[in-house]
Each structure stands twice: as structure tokens, then as C-alpha cells.
Amino acid sequence: MERINWFPGHMHKARKEIAELIAEVDIVIEVLDARLPRSSENPLVEKLRRGKPVLKLLNKADLADPEVTQAWLDEFNAQPEITAIALTTSDKGAVKRIPLYCKQAVPARAEKERPVRAMIMGIPNVGKSTLINALLGRKIAKVGNEPAVTKANKRYSEFQGMVLSDTPGILWPKIEDQDSGYRLAVSGAIKDTAIDYDMVAVFGAGFILQAYPDRLQERYKLKELPDTGEALLDAIGRKRGCLRPGGVVDIHKAAEILMNEMRSGKLGRISFEQVEEWREKDRIAAELAAAEAEAAAAEAALEAQDRFKTPNR
């Protein structure tokens, strides 16, 4: 499958503005998709936050596998300066506790009775605007199902001891991990018009076949499961009547059915990635980085040795 790259111009501008604004805040609130916490975790946040505490909100938890979500919470909460909670924007109790978590992470501000300055960040279509409206108790932020609805930085006046700055949903310039790119596309973080929709559906179909095969048999009344994502789309198309003249399956229509039902939760609570998978990826990345650093140091030492041996003219 091809690598997914998507970085609209307004996102490049937003990144520069966020880098400047983050110096003014006490804590970063990062909204993640509970179904794909690491893939929806923007690496720019780690680079831009300058060591400030982070509250990670695993949103859309009602769509994610609860056991997998708990494993991710344990993983994040074991890291210094990070607090992670799972929630849905419809859970008013969980939303109301967000200011409390922020104050606990920045006790110095709370003790001086000064408002905690927070910046809320997240990739497109992760539910950030809906969360802001729930947090403020009124409709302030524009909400939409398409990615990148928020395109400018906004600041909201003090409430519950906080001052909140909203930022545009930004994706990183290049999605290095190929699986992450497709998971983001399956979740709707990347506009459907910016990707090969059918190819993304094939990826999603292949994942569900491996991770949640029973859901497919129950939902689409399949007696036998196909072996590949392409074959699954064909089977779904035949079951749902997505046929062209001559009995040929309209794969795009079948892809739309599967993608919509994965995104809406009609296939049940699904998580697209596991903690163990990312631990292994991190281990490999760390080993590769160490090897590259060692090679660079050896090359630099050789160059220095050559310069020392070469007589001055």
C-alpha cells in the first residue's frame, strides 16, 4: 500500500503559531482518539510543549474496546508529567472533571488562585470542538464531521479557574508509520477526498478480519469469512446488494458501507492498535536511532583523524 501524506497549507501556519503560543500556557490538553491513541498522538505536541505537563483525553471511548483502552491508560499514566483519562463528550461528569485534572497538574497556579492557562490540541476530527462546547456548557466552537473545521487559534475567557486556548487540528507533515496513516484514514482524521478511499477500506477490512472476525459474521450474516480485505468487501457488497449490471460488485459502495459502520460503532467497540505493538515499534526505533548515532560518531571520528594526519600546507 502507498504511504499517506497530507498536510494542508493552513496546518503549516498553525504549527508556527502554536509553537509561539505554547510558551504562554501551563498545561497542554491533547485530545486523542481512544481507538488509535498512538496513531492520533501528534509527535509535534511532544516537540512543542517544552516539558510542560500534558493531559491526554482519550475521546470516543464508547467506540473503543474497553480492555484495550485501559491498557493504553496504564501505559500513558506511567509516564512522567502525563495524566490520561478516557471519556466521551456526552459524559458530563467526566468532562466536568477536566479542570480538576489540570489544576492538579499545575498546583502552583491553583495555590496562588490564578487561572490555569491551558492549550487544547488534537488532530482533525478527533472531537476537540465538541469537547470544548461540552466543557464550556455552551456552543462556542464550530463542530463538523469533516476534518480541520477549526482553522484559527481562539482563546476563551476564564471558567472554572481556567483560561483555554483552542488550536486548529493539525496533522504532522509526514506520517512515517504506514499503518498509522491508514488507521487515521479509517477513523476519518484525513478527508476521504484526500485519500484512495477504497484502498483504505481494504486496509480496514483486513484489520477487522484479523482482530474482530466474529463481528463481521454477525453483522453481515457471513457463513464463511473471506481470507482478504478485498474478498471481504466483495462479500459485503453481495450481501447488501451493491451490484452493477451483470452481477459485478460495486466495491466503492461496499467500501462506504464498511467504513461508515466501522466509524459509527455498528460493528461494535473496536480498537485499531495495541500497547504491545507500539512498545515493539518504539524498541526497534530506539535501536535504529542508537545505531545511526553510533555510525555518525564513528564517521566523525574518522574525519577528525584524517584532518589530524593531513599536514598543513
Q: Domains plus CATH for the chain?
A: 9-166 (3.40.50.300), 196-264 (1.10.1580.10)
- Sorting pLDDT into bands at 50, 70 and 90, what band is 301? confident
Distance from C-alpha of 275 to C-alpha of 285, rounded to nearest angstrom: 15
DSSP one-letter string for 148-160: ----S-EEEEEET
- Model pLDDT, residue 18: 76
Phi, psi angle pair for 165, to nearest 5°: -105, 125
Under the banding of pLDDT at 50, 70 and 90, the label for residue 40 is: very high
Count other Cβ atoms within 10 Å, centred on residue 56.
Answer: 24
Instruction: Return d(Cα 143, Cα 150) in angstroms, integer.
Output: 8
CA distance 112 to 130: 31
Report the pLDDT value the prediction gives residue 149, as an integer from 0 to 100: 42
| Lookup result for grid cell 457471513 | 222
Give the residue, 177 or 147, on which the prediction is more confident: 177
pLDDT classification of 142: cutoffs 50, 70, 90: low
pTM: 0.85
3-class SS of residue 54: strand
CA gap 27, 39 in Å, rounded: 22
For residue 157, name the pLDDT band (cuts at 50, 70, 90). Answer: low
| Angstrom distance (rounded) from CA 227 to CA 245 | 26
Model confidence pLDDT, tens digit, residues 213-241: 999 999 999 999 999 999 999 999 999 99
pLDDT tens-digit map of 1-31: 455 554 555 556 667 777 778 888 999 999 9
Residue 28's beta-bridge partner residues? 54, 119
Range from 65-69, 76-80, 217-221, 278-282 carrying the lowest mean pLDDT: 278-282
- Say how many C-beta atoms besides its own lie within 10 A of residue 199's C-beta: 16
pLDDT of residue 145: 47
Query: Chain centroid to CA 2: how far?
Result: 20
Closest CA to 201 of 234, 244, 170: 234
